[in-house]
Structures are given as C-alpha cells and as structure tokens.
Amino acid sequence: MPAVEGLRATGLTVRFGALTVLHDVDLAVPPGAVTGLVGPPGAGKTAFADAVTGLVRAAGTVRLDGADLTGAAPRVRARHGLARTSAAAAPFGSLTVRDNVRAAVEIHARTRPVAGRGWRDVRSRRKALRQASGATADALLARTGIAAHAGRAASAVPPGTARLLDIARALATRPRVLLLDDPSAGLPVPAARALEVLLRELAAEGVAVLVADRDLDRVLGVCDTLYVLDRGRVVAAGPPARVRADPGVRAAFARR
C-alpha cells in the first residue's frame, strides 16, 4: 500500500528560454492540513501550480502519496487525485451551475476502472451514474454555498460565485490533493469566512489542501504551514505567525 504523504515537490525549477521563473523549490503539502503559498504578483505561484499539475515542463520531482509523477501528463496526475482551481475560472458557460458540477462528477466517474464483464454491466453503471450525479452535484453546491445559483447559466454568475463553482467542480473529482489559486478573491466577507471553514473541513477529512494567494493576511488564519515565494524562490517557510514576522517576507511584499 503506498505511503500517504500528500504532495511533495523537490527541486522544482521552471525556465522559459533564458528566463528562470521558479528556482529549485521544495514544498510539501501533507494530508490533513492546509498549506499556504503566498507571494507578490510575479513571484512564481502560477508557475509552481503549472509545474505540479504538468502544464509546463519543469526540472525536479513531483510525488503524490509516494507515486512519482515527474513527467506525467496532466490527466495522469488528475487520475492520481490531483485537482486544481484557477484564478480565471472557466466553467462550461452554456450549462447551468448545477449541470457544470454534474458533468464534472460524471466525467470523473467515467475515468475510473469499470467493474463487470460485459456491455450490460457498463450500461447499467452509467445509468446509475446519471441518476446519482445530480444528488452529488446538489450536495457539492450546498457545501460550497452556491446552491441558490444552481439553475443559473454558469456564464451569468458573478466572479466570486464562479470561483466557488470551480471549487465544487474540483471536489467532484474526489481529490487527494486540492490546489486553489486565489480562492477567496472577489468573495464577500461572509462567503470568504465560509470558504475557510470548508477548507478546514476538507483537511480534517484527509485532503491535502494548498492555497496560493497574493494576499498574506488573507491566508494567515486558515493555514497550518506557510511558504512565501519571491522572484521564484522560497524565502520563508513555517508556521504562519513566524513567517509573517520574517524581515525577508516584509521586504518581499514592500517591494511590490
């Protein structure tokens, strides 16, 4: 049985031609905790997420629960339980909010191995999936606080709701590791607080949660461990209170 260690990136380096945007980054996202990755704009947070999810080539290694995913395609990493949301959420605009989540549930389920020996088994399973996916979608919409928008076109919801929809779609894949990019940006204070509660609940359920954000204060109250990136390098890591007091961290944010 593979070790349950969450996500571990070692020596991660990303180059675009002569420009190095991520320098030898070591970062661990353990299960059962919320880990923060903060830095001013251009610090390398998106490059890190792109490298971990396989969207860009990178030197170094990426492991998930002991499995070496270095060089694996994004779809392979997703099948291992790695899910990510984006700062620029892009739902299926022609579908309703509910159908977006329902589609994510069904797409994920169809990538799983199918038990049974014949076509009838597969057809029966897919019928059951269609019946169950609506209930799963409703539960995820309620959990992310956007059930009231279920029947709206995804293209018509406010940016904050679109971010929460992106989270609901990610949760539909039942991730072991969840990477969130600026998840509370644009949310009213009550919704942002509710999101913090949700992240703590997910961690308590054993999910390894990574929150990437440009606002240090926005993640201090929810993270167990905090990493700070500046110019593609980790300049501080540790408990949030200690990291916040680090002179190098204050200098990194003061420069931008």
- pLDDT-derived band at 125 (thresholds 50, 70, 90) equals low
Domain boundaries in the chain?
7-81+175-254
pLDDT of residue 2: 46
Look-up of token digits 């320098």: 23
Can you name the CATH fold of 7-81+175-254? Rossmann fold (3.40.50)
Residue 160 has which token pair?
């904050």
The whole-number pLDDT of residue 88 equals 65
Which residue, among 2, 6, 4, 3, has the nearest Cα to 224 in the 3D structure?
6
Give the list of residues 6+ apart from residue 223 with CB closer than 8 angstroms, or none: 34, 35, 36, 211, 240
pLDDT (0 to 100) of residue 1:
40
CA distance 76 to 72: 6
Quick check: 163 and 143 in contact, CB under 8 A? no
For residues 100, 103, 104, 108, the Cα torsion angle rounded to the nearest 10 degrees is: 180
pLDDT tens digits, 200-254: 999 999 999 999 999 998 999 899 999 999 999 999 999 999 999 998 888 888 7
Backbone angles phi, psi at 176, to 5 degrees: -90, -30
Q: Which amino acid is at 206?
A: G
